[in-house]
Structure 1
Amino acid sequence: MARGGIFCVEGQWHRDLSEQGSVIPTLELLERLRRIRFIYRDVATPEELSYFLDRWLLKQYSDYRVGFFAMHGEPGRLCLTDKATVELDDVAEQLAGRCQDKRLYFGSCSVLKASDATLLDFLDVSGAAMVCGYTREVDWVDSAAFETVLLDVLANGALVNAAEKRMGSGPWRELAAYLGFRIVYANGRTWRPGTRSRVPAQATAA
Structure 2
Amino acid sequence: MSRGGVFCVEGQWARDMTSRGSVLPTLELLERIQSIRYIHKDVATAQELEYYLDRWTLKQYDDYNVGFFAVHGEPQRLLLTEFNHHDNTIELDEVGEILAGKCPGRRLFFGSCAVLKAPDRMLRDFLDRTGAALICGYTKAVDWVEAAAFETVLLDRLVNGKRVDSAESTMRSARFAPFADHLGFRVVYRNGR
Same fold (TM over 0.5): yes
* Equivalent in 138, 151, 165 of residue 147 of structure 1: 151
Distance in 2, Cα, partners of 1:4 & 1:170: 27
* Equivalent in 128, 132, 138 of residue 136 of structure 2: 132
What stretches of structure 1 move > 2 A for 4+ residues in a row? 1-4
- Shift in Å at residue 187 of structure 1? 1.9
How many pairs are equivalent?
A: 189
Q: In structure 2, what residue type is equivalent to 1:88?
A: L
Unaligned ranges ≥5, structure 1: 190-206
Unaligned ranges ≥5, structure 2: none
Indicate the percent of aligned positions where both proteins have the same amino acid.
64
**Which digits, 9 at most, give the CA deviation of each residue in 1:79-116, with x for residues without a partner?**
10123210011111100111001000000000111111
TM alignment of 1:44-193, pairs within 5 A:
44-81=44-81, 82-83=83-84, 84-189=88-193
**Are 1:35 and 2:35 an aligned pair?**
yes
Distance in 2, Cα, partners of 1:2 & 1:33: 10
**Which digits, 9 at most, give the CA deviation of each residue in 1:166-199, with x for residues without a partner?**
111132111001001000001222xxxxxxxxxx
| TM-score, scaled to structure 1 | 0.90
Q: In structure 2, what residue type is equivalent to 1:159?
A: R
Distance in 2, Cα, partners of 1:144 & 1:47: 27
Please give the root-mean-square deviation of Cα atoms over the aligned residues, in Å: 0.9
SS at match of 2:176: helix
- Shift in Å at residue 148 of structure 1? 0.3
SS at match of 1:150: helix
